[in-house]
Structure 1
Amino acid sequence: MSRPPPDPQYILRGSGAAVNSLSFSCAGHGVPVLYSGSSKGAIHVWNLITRRAERILESHAGSSVIWLHTFRDSRSRLISQGRDMRLCVWDLSEDRSAVTDSLLTASVGFCQCSVLETRPGAALLAHPTEHTEEVSVVEMRSWTPVCSLKPDSKLGMLMCMKMWQADSGPVLCAGYEDGSLVLWDVSHRRPYSCLKAHPEPVMCLDVDVCKQKGISGSSEKILQSWTIDNQQNLQMHDSVQMTNPGVSQLCIRADGKILATAGWDDNIRVFGWKKLKPLAVLQHHTDMVNSVAFSDHQDPPQRLLAAGSKDQRISVWSIYSES
């Protein structure tokens, strides 16, 4: 018999609103931290030793915080994206809570940004714009525009995206309202390939760069995986059917072993990434799960999975840490 699903290691309470976004900062020295963004514009800085919020940051005028990113080269830098159409860059060193820079995206959608750290202190940022189908890529240090990526055909609103470094240069995969995925050559501002992956809008995606394989979810019951061949063509791969429809977010763990999904049915689902084998349904939340994130710590005993929900709670799990 298979083991029953575990209980959460602990629950973080006190966000005061629906939890929409999560980002761990556990690598290196210092106290391991989890950042969470709420639907009322607050960013909580959770100390994972005391399991309490040690700071609350507010700078999105009460608008929902839909994306957070921490930088590999600096634990004291954080970037947040709000529904106030702004990105904020934070300096959190030496107990500061200062917004040192910001960018007006003018985007009214829910598409989360994506960052590619090109070298220490330098990064490219892809963000949605006022033109609902367009991606703008900028150099973060100066906000210098690099390129604008806009499909020729009508694919509808930009829904989600991820950017990474390939041998040929920066690559970006974007999901659109009509269910299509487009793989973009950022350097040459042109699409490599397009794939109609879903009959419904693509709500979320993630990419395993080492395996050249990605996964996407929508409002339906199907998770669809796809591969990227040597000619940068997107091709359908495996799919898996879930019990209930709707995925808010999905995340592949850094070691490429497991995949976690945030479900509209209040559940977190865990799959083996290699064959999309269902491994566990983690049940704790009483409302839609909006976000899932894996810790960035490399030591297996420290591997954590966090999930943020509309029920205002964050559940933290230790699962398949030994794998």
Structure 2
Amino acid sequence: MFKTIPAPVYTYKCDEYIPNCLLFDSINQLLYTGTQTGEILTWNLETNRQKSKTKAGKQCILKLELLTTKNLLISQNKLGEIQFWLINKYNLSNIHTITTQVIGFCKFVLYDNDLILCKSDKEKYVMNFFSIHNYEKVKTFNPNDSTLGDLMVIKCVKNYIFCAYESCKIIIWLEDKIDETAEFPDVECLMALDIDSNITKGVCAGSSDTIYSFQVINNKICLKKSIKITNPGISELCLRSDNKLIAAVCWDFNVRIFSWKTMKLLALLDSHSNGVLDVTFSKSLITFWKTEYLLAIACKDCKITLWNIYNDKSNIITNKII
């Protein structure tokens, strides 16, 4: 771990808005923020200033995603509305809304930049597919097992779909067939999952004090390894795109940074007095900070902290607040 406790390199103040989810647009040097009261805030990463605020409704925004092929930002709120926003520099214009009627915390994912995958509004363990072209539901994946409980997390890597369930089971879909089912009982309620880009390793966690890392060999989950954290509860796991670091959002108001290779704890980021709601890494160069892998953390105290750690040219410097 760091001999000196790292500090954020910058802190954005969101006024009265609580940031709930974050998304880097490294091409345009922007950071999008979805709030708990339905706003989308746009930050310029070159000037470190908020450039726009778009009202997307009154419900908490769970997720933001870019569809660069169509110059769109996609948002999902707590009532299951998936909204499509045309991007015009800093301004957003709503062009369509899919009303899925799914109430809960399972976030949609993009599949092959062609389909949106989300939990069904009828059977809580079923997954629906919507076309991004005509916005219609085109197919459904049904594991036909009601004991799975709620579908909690969906992850897509290449043509593989990983589904994590309330019952602490993970299902791997390949095309339209179940390829593997694995169980992680010590996780208790499984809430967080991530998989590396090579589909060789994954990690999952939930309401317990256990994080599982596992290998994916010949499409099978095996060689499970568990590690313990000090206090129970992890709501989010985010793997850096270079497959070197994994960030865990913990219920004890901290973000823990682990080595992806060894799962050794490298840093404890504790500058979040009221708790943490989301983390994300940038995937390409952020010019102002001269790093490809800037970490952003959404905090319950109406702040977003930026961190430049475990990068070749990173330095631990004094916190700045705007």
Mapping 1:48-59, distance limit 5 Å:
48-59=45-56
Unaligned ranges ≥5, structure 2: 314-322
Distance 1:147 1:81 in 2: 20
Measured in 1, the distance between the counterparts of 2:121 and 2:109 equals 17
Residue 146 of structure 1, CA deviation: 3.9
* 2:271 paired residue among 267, 272, 284: 284
Q: Deviations over 1:63-119 (max 9, x none)?
A: 000011123446x42100001320001111245420112111110111011112x3x
AA paired with 2:21? S
Are the aligned partners of 2:14 and 2:304 in contact in 1 as well (CA < 8 Å)? Answer: no
Q: Is the aligned partner of 1:41 residue 2:38?
A: yes
Change (3 A) 1:19 1:11: same
In 2: Cα distance, 1:94 partner to 1:274 partner: 39
What's the counterpart of residue 85 of structure 1? 80
Question: CA–CA distance in 2 between the matches of 1:15 and 1:312?
Answer: 6
Partners of 2:182 and 2:170 in 1: CA distance: 5
Q: What is the letter of the counterpart of residue 134 of structure 2?
A: S
1:128 partnered with 2:119: yes
Equivalent residues of 1:17, 1:310 under 8 A apart: no
Cα distance change, pair 23–95 in 1 and its aligned pair in 2 (3 A): closer
For residues 185 and 214 of structure 2, what CA distance do their matches in structure 1 show?
Answer: 11
Give me the whole-angstrom Cα distance separating, in 2, the residues matched to 1:301 and 1:163: 26
Question: Would the aligned equivalents of 1:26 and 1:33 in 2 still touch at CA under 8 Å?
Answer: yes
Return the alpha-carbon distance in structure 2 between the equivalents of residues 226 and 178 of structure 1.
18
1:109 paired residue among 89, 94, 104: 104
Cα distance, 1:236 vs structure 2: 4.4
Normalized against structure 2, the TM-score is what?
Answer: 0.90
* Structure 2 residue 213 is the aligned partner of structure 1 residue 218: no
Q: Is residue 64 of structure 1 aligned with residue 71 of structure 2?
A: no
One-letter amino acid of the structure 1 residue matched with residue 67 of structure 2 = F
Compute the displacement of 1:211 (Å).
4.7
Secondary structure, counterpart of 2:291 in structure 1? helix
Contact (CA 8 Å) 1:239, 1:276: kept in 2 or not? no
* Correspondence 1:1-323 to 2 at 5 A: 2-14=2-14, 16-27=16-27, 30=28, 32-59=29-56, 61-73=57-69, 76-116=71-111, 118=112, 122-131=113-122, 132-153=124-145, 154-165=147-158, 170-185=159-174, 187-188=175-176, 190-199=177-186, 200-230=188-218, 232-298=219-285, 301-322=291-312
CA distance in 1, matches of 2:25, 2:298: 16
Q: Measure the CA separation in 1 of the matches of 2:223 and 2:152.
A: 19
Task: Output the amino acid matched with 1:57.
Answer: T
**What is the letter of the counterpart of residue 17 of structure 1?**
Y
Aligned to 1:97, the other structure's residue is in SS state: strand
Contact map agreement 1:126 1:163 (CA 8 A) in 2: no
Bigger shift: residues 268-277 or 300-309 = 300-309
1:203 positional shift = 0.7
Is residue 26–residue 285 contact of structure 2 (8 Å, CA) maintained in 1? Answer: no
In 2, Cα distance between the equivalents of 1:234 and 1:140?
A: 31
For residues 171-222 of structure 1, the C-alpha deviation after alignment (integer angstroms, 9 at most, x for no partner) is 211111111111112x32x211111123412111111031521111101111
Q: Please give the alpha-carbon distance, in whole angstroms, between the structure 2 residues aligned to 1:248 and 1:95.
A: 30
Deviations 1:112-139 (A, max 9, x none): 11112x3xxx422111121221111222
What displacement does 1:18 show? 2.8
* 2:294 alignment partner AA: L
SS of alignment partner, residue 254 of structure 1? coil
How far did 1:17 drift? Answer: 3.3
**What TM-score, normalized by structure 1, do the two folds share?**
0.89
Residues 90 and 11 (structure 1), Cα distance of their counterparts in 2 relative to 1, 3 Å cut: same
Greater relative contact order (Cα < 8 A, sep 6+): 2
* Separation in structure 2 between the aligned mates of residue 286 and residue 25 of structure 1, nearest angstrom: 27
Alpha-carbon separation, structure 2, partners of 1:160 and 1:87: 16
Give unmatched runs, 5+ long, in structure 1. Answer: none
Tell me the number of residue pairs that the alignment of Structure 1 and Structure 2 aligns.
307
